[in-house]
Amino acid sequence: MVNTILTIALVLIMLSMVIALIRFILGPSSLDRVVAFDIMTIASIAMIAVLSNLAGRIIYLDIAIVYGLLSFLAVIIIAKYLEKSL
C-alpha cells in the first residue's frame, strides 16, 4: 500500500516538474525562469526523497540535503545578479 502511494506521489512530482519546465522555457521574464528553476529543484529533491524511501537507502537523503543547499545558494546568487547588486 505504501509503495503505491509513493509511486503516485512520484508521478505527481514528475508532472509538476514538466509544468515547471514549460514555465521555464516559455517564461516571459527572467524572474519567471528563476521561480521555475527553484520549483524544479524542489521537486527533484522531493523525488530523491521518495526514491530513497522506495529503494530503502537512507544515504540518498544526504544527497537531497546537499542538493537543497546548493540550489538555495544558486537561487540567492541569481537573485542578487538580477537585482544588479552582485
DSSP assigned state of 85: -
Given this model, what pLDDT does residue 4 score?
93
Decide: pTM greater than 0.85. yes
Of 64, 84, 74, 63, nearest to 33 by C-alpha is 74
Report the C-alpha gap between 50 and 6 in whole angstroms.
6
* Confidence check: pLDDT of 86 > 70: no
- The domains of the chain, with CATH numbers, are 2-82 (1.10.287)
DSSP assigned state of 84: T
* Confidence check: pLDDT of 85 > 80: no
Q: What is the pLDDT of residues 6-18, one digit of tens each?
A: 999 999 999 999 9
Q: What is the pLDDT of residues 25-79, one digit of tens each?
A: 998 988 899 999 999 999 999 999 999 999 999 999 999 999 999 999 999 999 8
DSSP assigned state of 57: -
